[in-house]
Amino acid sequence: MGVFSEEVIKLQGINLHVIPTDKFKTNTIVFKMKAPLNREDVTKRALLPHVLQSSSKQYQTTSKLRSYLDELYGALFYVDLAKKGEYHVMSFTVEIANEKFLSNSEPLLKKAFEFLAEVIKNPNAEGDSFDQPTIDNEKRSLIQRIQSIYDDKMKYSNYRLIQEMCKEEPYAMNVHGQLEDVEAITAANLFEYYERAIAQDELDLYVVGDVNSEEVAKTAEQLMVFAERIPKTIDRKLAQNITGVKEIKEEQDVKQGKLNIGCRTKVYYGDKDYYALQVYNGIFGGFSHSKLFINVREKASLAYYVASRLESHKGLMLVMSGIDNKNYDQAVSIIKEQMKAMATGDFSDEEISQTKAVIKNQLLETIDTSRGMVEILYHNVVSQENIALDDWILKMDAVTKDEIIKVAQKVELDTVYFLTERGQ
């Protein structure tokens, strides 16, 4: 099929991933920093990319930095934070026009590399401290990001489910850190953490576009090399024993109840059963033809929305739904029935083939963007696997009904969380 190719080049302290493609008129560079989640550093780590993004030694204000990007034919630059299993990942992305499509053939890709190197390696700091006004500004923004979770009840209920389900595990932590820890961050202790992260994190640099691998490697070697390191890894398959289903009900001033259910799948990205789990999730609750959608929302008219999704690096399946508060028992009961139906093979060959087709289309849609390509490929870094997308699709296509039943029998209910109206 040959969806796309990736060349991985080991440079000093960093892995360079080049994905040559003529699909886009822009080139995209993504710099990723990965470290295990831990309570002590999570909030500093959530603040750091935003501090680096706002200014640098050369561009000492956000407006100067942004106006330089405008000069580069409106290049885009943004940061992102994610939890991938029990790793915390910072991403820095630059999207820039490909000079091949411009009448003025400026070396834009090299300039994008220089800009990214400036932001990452030459921060707006004096001595051993970041610029104080930048820290104050970004701390206020971080507080707003953390608080916004409490305002969005869909996000909040999902966060609370994870908090309860993974109580003793690093995964329980909010990707944006802890509100109570923001105040203690200073310009000096954040700079100390920045130096540690740059020296110890696993670093990966992705370049996607109509580019020459050798030229990219040469430029990266000049601008994006770091100290050698042995990145910290964690055992993602530490067994979590379920001693009984936890049920948590929380009351707030909400009109619509939020029912979130967490299951342990004991299957991780790249495992033999992983492909069957993908198809299982699609049939169970992943798409609009799924059992949850049809039985909870359409037939019983119990839910405003209902869906399930996988956390493949953590071995979880999460069900999210919005229901009337009075329908809690009935909704939980029907969701459990659908889990049982999957484990006993109560699904058709048509459901299997329809689900495989939707998964395949979803994947192909994802790789229609350069950022999507990077996210797909980065699964291999997180899992320490090496799965080509072509193989992924072939293995998913080859999944049998028996394999789906086998994986369904592994899925165990862990926690039921319900956010409901006061007095219910």
* pLDDT average, residue stretch 227-231: 95
Residues 398-408: tens digit of each pLDDT: 999 999 999 99
Structure tokens at 320: 């999210």
Structure tokens at 157: 């209920």
In whole angstroms, give the CA distance from residue 54 to residue 12.
Answer: 27
pLDDT confidence tier of residue 299, bands split at 50, 70 and 90: confident
Greater confidence, 38 or 2?
38
Pairing, β 76-84 against β 87-97: antiparallel
Residues 139-170: tens digit of each pLDDT: 999 999 999 999 999 999 999 999 999 998 99
- Rg of the Cα trace of the chain? 23
For residue 232, give the 3-state DSSP assignment.
Answer: coil
Closest CA to 338 of 290, 403, 303: 290
φ, ψ dihedrals at 36, nearest 5°: -60, 140
What is the 3-state secondary structure of 348-390? CHHHHHHHHHHHHHHHHHHCCCHHHHHHHHHHHHHHCCCCCHH
Quote the pLDDT of residue 235.
Answer: 83
Mean pLDDT of the chain: 94
For residue 17, give the 3-state DSSP assignment.
Answer: strand
Residues 304-328: tens digit of each pLDDT: 889 999 999 999 999 999 989 899 9
Residue 101 has pLDDT above 80, yes or no: no
Residue 192 has pLDDT above 60, yes or no: yes
Residues 368-407: tens digit of each pLDDT: 999 999 999 999 999 999 999 999 999 999 999 999 999 9
Place of tokens 């944006």: 176
* pLDDT average, residue stretch 125-143: 96
Quote the pLDDT of residue 1.
Answer: 46
DSSP designation for 25: S
Beta strands in 138-267 (DSSP E): 202-209, 246-252, 257-264
Residue 241 has pLDDT above 80, yes or no: no
Q: Which helix (H) or strand (E) holds 7?
A: strand 7-11
Residue 2 has pLDDT above 70, yes or no: no
Residues 328-369: tens digit of each pLDDT: 999 999 999 999 999 999 999 999 999 999 999 999 999 999
Instruction: Give residue 116's Cα distance to chain centre.
Output: 21
DSSP designation for 36: E
Q: Are 215 and 112 in contact (CB under 8 A)?
A: no
φ, ψ dihedrals at 398, nearest 5°: -85, -5
- Whether this prediction's pTM lies above 0.85 is answered by yes
Q: Is the alpha carbon torsion for 349, 354, 356, 357 positive or negative?
A: positive
Closest CA to 260 of 197, 187, 316: 316
- Give the range with max mean pLDDT: 233-242, 299-308, 347-356: 347-356
